[in-house]
C-alpha cells in the first residue's frame, strides 16, 4: 500500500517560501540553491545554499520569534520566517532542522507519511 504525505498545501507552501527566501537572501550570490524532496520512510524536503555558516550564537535561537542573524543593509523582515516554518512543521507532526557548515547550509523538513 502506498503511503501519502498528508499536509495543508498552503502552510507547506508558506514553509517552503520562508526557507527558500532565506536561502536566496543569505546564500552567496551566483551560487545555486538546491531543493530536494523525497519520500522513503518519511517525507523530506531540503533547501540548501552555499554561503557563510550560521554563527553558533544565532543557531541557538534560530527558530525563536523575532530572532535574526546578522542583517545586511538590503535585508528586511521581523525575524519570524523560520519561527513560522518551524511551527508549521510541528503542526504537521514533523521537524525542521538545520545544518550549517562553511560549505553549505541546509534546512530540512521531515514529516511522517500516512497510510
**Cell numbers representing residue 88 in the block:** 508549521
CATH number at residue 73: 3.30.565.10
- The overall average pLDDT reported for the chain is 89
% of the chain at pLDDT higher than 90: 71
38-58 pLDDT per residue, tens:
998 999 999 999 999 999 988
pLDDT reading at 29 higher than 80: yes
59-72 pLDDT per residue, tens:
988 999 876 555 44
Residues in Cβ contact with 103 at an 8 Å cutoff, skipping those fewer than 6 apart: 50
78-88 pLDDT per residue, tens:
578 999 999 99
pLDDT reading at 1 higher than 70: no
2 part of a folded domain: no
Counting the structural domains of the chain, the total is 1
4 part of a folded domain: no
Amino acid at each position: 500500500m502506498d503511503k501519502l504525505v498528508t499536509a495543508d498545501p498552503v502552510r507547506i507552501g508558506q514553509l517552503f517560501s520562508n526557507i527558500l527566501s532565506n536561502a536566496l537572501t543569505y546564500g552567496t550570490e551566483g551560487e545555486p540553491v538546491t531543493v530536494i524532496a523525497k519520500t522513503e520512510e518519511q517525507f523530506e524536503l531540503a533547501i540548501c545554499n552555499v554561503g557563510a555558516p550560521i554563527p553558533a550564537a544565532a543557531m541557538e535561537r534560530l527558530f525563536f520569534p523575532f530572532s535574526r542573524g546578522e542583517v545586511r543593509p538590503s535585508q528586511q523582515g521581523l525575524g519570524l520566517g523560520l519561527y513560522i516554518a518551524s511551527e508549521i512543521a510541528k503542526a504537521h507532526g514533523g521537524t525542521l532542522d538545520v545544518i550549517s557548515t562553511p560549505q553549505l547550509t541546509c534546512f530540512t523538513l521531515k514529516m511522517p507519511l500516512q497510510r
